[in-house]
Chains A and B, each alone.
Chain A
Amino acid sequence: MVSPVSDAMIRLEAVTKQYPGTMTPAVDELSLEIPEGEIAVLVGPSGCGKTTTLKMINRLIEPTSGEIVVAGERVTEMDQSELRRGIGYVIQQIGLFPHRTIAENIATVPKLLGWDKARTNERIDELIDVVQLEPEMRDRYPAELSGGQRQRVGVARALAADPPVMLMDEPFGAVDPIVRSALQDQFLDLQHRLNKTIVLVTHDIDEAIKLGDRVAILNVGGILEQYAPPSDMLREPANAFVADFLGSDRGLKRLGLLPIRNANLEMGPVVAPTAHPQDAHRVMEQYGVDWFAVAEGKRLLGWAPGTALETAPDVRSIPLQPYRTRIDVGSTLKEALDAVVSSRAPMTAVFDGDDYLGMLSADRISREIVQ
């Protein structure tokens, strides 16, 4: 699962950190490659060296041995300040400068790099827009902002000089769960547009699965247990530690990452309005349900219970009820499963906008888990 060297924006080669006076290293011979434009999440229990690893990349901590290469350059051979100005850095407490306005905070690295006023101002406006802050925030001080707003200023500040690489240490750790989820979504949106190479540290496995293109699970003493895309890891944990760390609802977590695929869709107990009542009986039997739906081309007209067929002369004359268990094709299998289990039907109708695509059954969903 390791990419060719040429693709790696960040490469750790047998990096070890041993603090003086300790018996065991904090990070032990860690090798990792992070391809350009991807988010790699370092996750693990406390004492696993995830933050130490992150801080070795921008040399806030110097490795005892091993090599770290960023964008083809060995970090130990670069000037410390210059290296850091070229890497975005976000920490849990955000660390905004309380004596500087939001605009001045965002301008931190451009100022260090000696940008002129016009260029800096333009960039501030752009970033305030990018992280969805109100333009009035420009001249406020950090103390006047909410936790979520401060977090976004922290991200804007890290992005200011448009660095190709970002290091984020528990960036969503200081905000409440609801705000956190919204910020994560916004962060992923942003990343789709910006394509930065990001190393993110968290202790929250759900955050790791949600945000990471790749997840590195570290064990105490900085030992890498597994490094893989989250869906691969959920399907096939490398060992008991990883399985345990991923949690017992691993299958469900994996469903949360998998999209609905057209190949999984079935026609379902659906007939055309012109169909014979016998056709309806046949599809009900085929799918083992006591109801059927009626579709005309791509329009799902509704459904009726099987008993309606006893009194009606044909399908067309049966009064239909609107079909409620429906989901958009862009959803994940987890959302589809939720739609299924919250309804009486063992399946959900899948739509692309108004177009009916087919039915997705609990059976098909569970088959995806083991694949």
Chain B
Amino acid sequence: MTLVAEAFVDWGWIGDNLDEIWDKVAEHLVLTGIALGVGLAISLALAALALRFRRSYTPITWMTGTLYSIPSLALFAFLVPITGFTTLTAEIGLVSYTLLILIRNIVAGIDGVPPDIKEAAVGMGYGRLRLFFEIELPLALPVIVAGMRIAAVTTIGLVTVTALIGKGGLGFFILRGLQRFFSTVGSTEILIGTLLSVVLAVIVDVGLLLLERALTPWARRKVA
């Protein structure tokens, strides 16, 4: 057993490259964070548009659905001639893939706010904007965060692909590992890249779940 493990994992390499591993974890998180942040902002705007003008919802989902269906490799390959080997290129791709999930969840979450709550709010003199930000958005939060969690996990996986355009976070190790596949160092890099990427996804997922709980204290207090 130990021998087999020795054949694939070079513990010494891990010890020697801790700094680089740490740098790539940080890059991975930054790429993911920007993608989610920008994706959320764009999604909120598009969801607001869809909610205000119902007819725009179908074209919006059609558009973002199309983006979602483009293979990531192809999308990056298509963007490189335009925006080069830059973070911008990476982010355009990553953000594109968050939109469909986020918009759908925002719209579903806000549609799910009980009509009597909205009627009471409007009947007491809430304007449209106030209603959206103070009543609808907070109440839709659990559904929106559920979308964020899916988007986050998807993005963390997808970030590795951006290694192809010189970014990639932990994907950097996976790609370099592939290039020297028939060596212990190569398989170690692939393992480290994959494993840490999965760990990141789990941590971010749990983190968002805890964030949701902290933001929705009312949801857990019910009469027995």
Contacts and interface: CB of A to CB of B under 8 A. Distances in A.
Contacts of B20: none
B218 A84 contact: no
Nearest to B135: A97
Contacts of B139: 98-99
A112 interface: yes
A356 interface: no
Contacts of B125: 80-85, 109, 112
A290 interface: no
A143 B218 contact: yes
Contact of A108 (B124, B138, B218, B221): B124
Contacts of A142: 218
A93 B121 CA distance: 13
**Chain A facing B: main interface SS:** mixed
Nearest to B123: A89
Nearest to A145: B223
B102 to A, nearest CB: 21
B124 A98 contact: no
Residue among A80, A108, A145 with the highest chain B CB neighbour number at 10 A: A108
A154 B138 CA distance: 20
B122 A141 contact: no
Interface in B77-126: 114, 116-126
Q: How large is the interface on A (under 10, 10 to 19, 20 to 34, 35 or more residues)?
A: 20 to 34
Q: How large is the interface on B (under 10, 10 to 19, 20 to 34, 35 or more residues)?
A: 20 to 34
B54 interface: no
Contact of B124 (A85, A141, A144): A85
Contact of B123 (A84, A100, A146): A84
Interface in A121-155: 140-146, 154
Contact of B218 (A95, A109, A141): A141
B216 interface: yes
A60 interface: yes
A140 B121 CA distance: 20
Contacts of A97: 117, 120-121, 135
Given A60-B122, A82-B125, A140 B221 contact: yes
A246 interface: no
A94 interface: yes
Interface string B134-167: 0100110000000000000000000000000000
A143 B221 contact: yes
A108 B221 CA distance: 21
A97 B131 CA distance: 11
A95 B126 CA distance: 13
A143 B222 contact: yes
A309 B119 CA distance: 73
A96 interface: yes
A60 B123 CA distance: 7
B127 interface: yes
A160 to B, nearest CB: 9
Nearest to A79: B125
Nearest to B120: A95
Residue among A95, A96, A167 with the highest chain B CB neighbour number at 10 A: A95
Nearest to B141: A99
Given A81-B125, A84-B125, A99-B216, A91 B120 contact: yes
A288 B122 CA distance: 66
B145 to A, nearest CB: 14
A112 B126 CA distance: 8
Contacts of B135: 97
A146 B126 contact: no
A95 B114 CA distance: 8
A82 B127 CA distance: 10
Nearest to A112: B125
A52 interface: no
B141 to A, nearest CB: 8
Contacts of B138: 99
A144 B119 contact: no
A157 B123 CA distance: 12
A231 interface: no
A58 interface: yes
Contacts of A82: 125
B127 A98 contact: no
A95 B116 CA distance: 5
A340 B223 CA distance: 45
Given A91-B116, A98-B117, A143-B218, A84 B223 contact: no
A164 to B, nearest CB: 15
Given A98-B139, A99-B138, A99-B216, A81 B116 contact: no
A186 B186 CA distance: 78
Nearest to A80: B125
Contacts of A89: 120, 123-124
21 contacts: A81-B125, A84-B122, A84-B125, A85-B124, A91-B123, A92-B116, A95-B120, A98-B117, A98-B218, A98-B219, A99-B139, A112-B124, A140-B221, A141-B217, A143-B221, A143-B222, A143-B223, A144-B221, A145-B223, A157-B124, A158-B124
Given A81-B127, A98-B139, 11 more contacts: A58-B123, A80-B125, A81-B126, A84-B125, A95-B118, A96-B117, A97-B120, A99-B218, A108-B121, A141-B217, A144-B222
Interface of A: 58, 60, 80-85, 89, 91-100, 108-109, 112, 140-146, 154, 157-158, 167
The 10 closest A-B pairs by CB, nearest first: A95-B120, A85-B125, A93-B116, A84-B125, A89-B123, A95-B116, A141-B218, A81-B125, A143-B222, A99-B218
